Amino acid sequence: MRVASLVPRYGLRVFKDELRTRAGMLVLGLGLFLIMLPLPIKNQFFINALFVTFLYAIMTLAWAIACGQAGMLSFGHSAFFGIAAYTTMVLLHQKVTPWLGIPAGALLAGLFGFALGLLFARLRSHWFALATLVLNDIFRLIFENWEEVGGMRGLEMPYYLVVGEPSLYWLNFTHPRPFYYLALGITGLELLMIYLLTKSKMGYYLKAIREDEEAAKSVGINITLYKGFALGLSAFFMGLAGGLYTIRYGYIDPGAVFNMMRISIYPAIAGLLGGVYSLVGPVVGCFIFIPIAEYTRAYIGSWLGARFYGIHLVFFGIILLLVSLKMPEGIMGFLEKAGYIRPLLSTTVGGSGGGGGERKSPPER
Amino acid sequence: MSERVLLSGRGLVKAFGGLVAVNNVSFDLYEGEILGLIGPNGAGKTTLFNLLTGFLKPDAGKVFFRGKDITRLPAHARARLGLARTFQLVKPFLKLTVLENVMTAALAKTGDVEEARERALKALEFIGMYDVRDRLASSLTLVDRKRMELARALALEPKVLLLDELIAGLNPKEVDEMLDLLREIHAKGITLFIIEHVMRAVMGICQRILVMHYGRLIAQGTPEEVANDPKVIEAYLGGVL
């Protein structure tokens, strides 16, 4: 088992433990189901809807690395999404395959996230949130005025790709199914990474920082550095989503990729709804929120007429209000606390087969 | 008691606006001793601790640890050097279990999570919290939170432990247990520097005591010397007597 030996010791052990459990089988079964899912579906619209949901799952999981693990509530993740989207597109024009372009974009976004994490490390909770909120507009304005990358008009995929044959090398497909698999694959990879992260030293450190920064310092944690790591990792995965968006739609402009509502806030709502402390919470949140969001945006507005454009935002407000009042740790957090689901996939409590033994008493609060 | 100086402050000053919380304080902490720090409320005791552990930067003065100037060293680096602390208002990681709380500290000594778990379990066993290791910190009582914080500090394998009102708020039985625990910790060769209001505790356990009043160090010496020092009596009871 050469591959297995590459996995850190703790990771491997935890894995074996978890695969034996029912939750492990459940994850495996669900994975297979999701792989088979688009095969019988003829309607491309539905496959695309699934793709969009998983695209948001990537973004929401990424966002939740910062918020759920390190307690960094960000409303400016579109910056990372957009940086990677533009990088991927510019590289595409330089005849670089998206197989390299997407990781390159994500890496650039990750480095930027790391630097920003260091810079904003002193800002706590709402101050950090406010600082990140501004990023949406800063980056949109920069790219709207940056003529070399298309300015307001944005950038389109090179013409020879638009008219070209479907190609795996260029990730150029007309059917949404391959994109669905890409999104699913990245989501799976991301879940795995987050899972390993929570079992690692860094996972413990981020949780300590989230819970109490002063106490974290007192146990020897360099909170500035680790906040950088957290935001960097979060930005990297957000960047992967940005790159995927670019090759799926073949056209980007500043208003779309640096969109505060649809790129920065949607993942935040979906994440809080699903539960940021649970491993799968953000994905669950996306499967509930994204369909509702798209439906209300498309239909509620038109029922009531143009005068009520934006009424869907009221629904988002109601959802957020209910979640924060009734289940502040999201749907998955609620289910785990209430005992409906063993918090096996929780990233909060070490009940997840790490060898800590069974819990003596039910968790409180 | 060896005569080696472990931790010392030289001319430490810290002001918050017009209030000088710590005013030109110099002291030495010797290796292996139990040093007490007392003084009326607002005397600047916790501020002095914050200066020593790096949670605050002094306006003037220097902090030395084992002869090395650590004045510019950030708090997390000082913790790794062996300067551990607890907080006056306990700061547990509420959403983590007791074991995970202590593991965060043990990870400073080893990068390996499994080994950190072993070390944390040892610290919990020592402190007598092994049985509640998998409970969430938020479900603990005050005394257990304090004991957990002590275990967390011990998992750093410190040279010196700065304890900020560890005993305040405990009932008499808990105070006695905590004092026994402190003696055991001291017996392991860890130097203790404690802020405490409970006089019975301070007088019983400390070998030497520093007294602060309005930011200044007004007296130091053995418990008897300090208790009979007119300046100390005046500070506590007012100038009338």
ipTM of the complex: 0.93
Distance (Å) from the alpha carbon of B14 to chain A's nearest alpha carbon: 19
∠A314-A280-A182 over CA atoms, to 5°? 95
Residue B95 to residue A69: CA distance in whole angstroms:
11
Residue B103 sits at φ, ψ, to 5 deg, of -60, -35
Q: What is the pLDDT of residue A6?
A: 42
Would you say residue B178 lies in a domain?
Answer: no
Question: Is B175 contained in some domain?
Answer: no
Interface contact flag, B133 A221, Cβ < 8 Å: no
| Interface with chain A: mutation pick from B95, B114, B154, highest number of A CBs within 10 Å | B95
- Is pLDDT at A360 greater than 50 in this prediction? no
Q: Hey, which residues does B8 pair with through a beta bridge?
A: B28, B64
Residues 214-243, chain A, touching B (beta carbon < 8 A) = 214-223
Residue B126 lies in a domain: yes
Strand partners, B220: B210
Q: Is the residue at B118 inside a domain?
A: yes
Cβ contacts of A158 within 8 Å, gap of 6 or more: A92, A93
Question: In terms of pLDDT, which residue wins out, A23 or A26?
Answer: A26
pLDDT tens-digit readout, A53-89: 999 999 999 999 999 999 999 999 999 999 999 999 9
Say yes or no for a CB contact (<8 Å) between B97 and A204. no
Q: Kindly list the residues from chain B whose CB atom is less than 8 angstroms away from the CB atom of residue A211.
A: 92-96
Reply yes or no on whether the pLDDT at A356 is more than 50. no
pLDDT at A15: 57
| Structural domain that includes position B133 | 90-152
- Sheet with B19-30, side-by-side order of all strands: B19-30, B5-16, B60-65, B68-69
B138 lies in a domain?
yes
Q: Look at residue A348 and tell me whether its pLDDT is greater than 60.
A: no
What is the Cα–Cα distance from A229 to B41, expressed in whole angstroms? 41
pLDDT in tens, A151-190: 999 999 998 888 888 889 999 998 999 999 999 999 999 9
Domain count, chain B: 1
- Work out the minimum CA distance from A10 to partner chain B, whole angstroms: 7
Q: Do B107 and A201 touch (CB under 8 A)?
A: yes
A-B Cβ pairs (cutoff 8 Å, strict): 130
Mean pLDDT, residues B15-36 = 95
Confidence band (pLDDT; 50, 70, 90) for B197? Answer: confident
Residue A165: per-residue pLDDT: 86
Distance from CA of B61 to the nearest CA of A (A): 22
Structure tokens at A255: 């208003």
Q: Which domains does chain A carry?
A: 2-345 (1.10.3470)
Q: Determine the residue of chain A that is closest to B162 in CA distance.
A: A218
Residue with tokens 């003037």: B60
Which helix or strand (DSSP H or E) is residue A104 part of? helix A98-119
Residue A301: per-residue pLDDT: 66
pTM reported for the whole predicted model:
0.89
CA distance A267 to A61: 8
Burial environment of residue A254 by CB neighbours within 10 A (0 to 12, 13 to 18, 19 or more): buried
Write out pLDDT tens, residues A222-273: 999 999 999 999 999 999 999 999 999 999 999 999 999 999 999 999 999 9
Mutate to test the interface with B, among A14, A207, A218 (most CBs of B within 10 A): A218
In a domain, B134, yes or no: yes
**Quick check: is B103 in a domain?**
yes
Residue B194 in domain: no
The whole-angstrom distance between A77's CA and the closest CA on chain B is 26
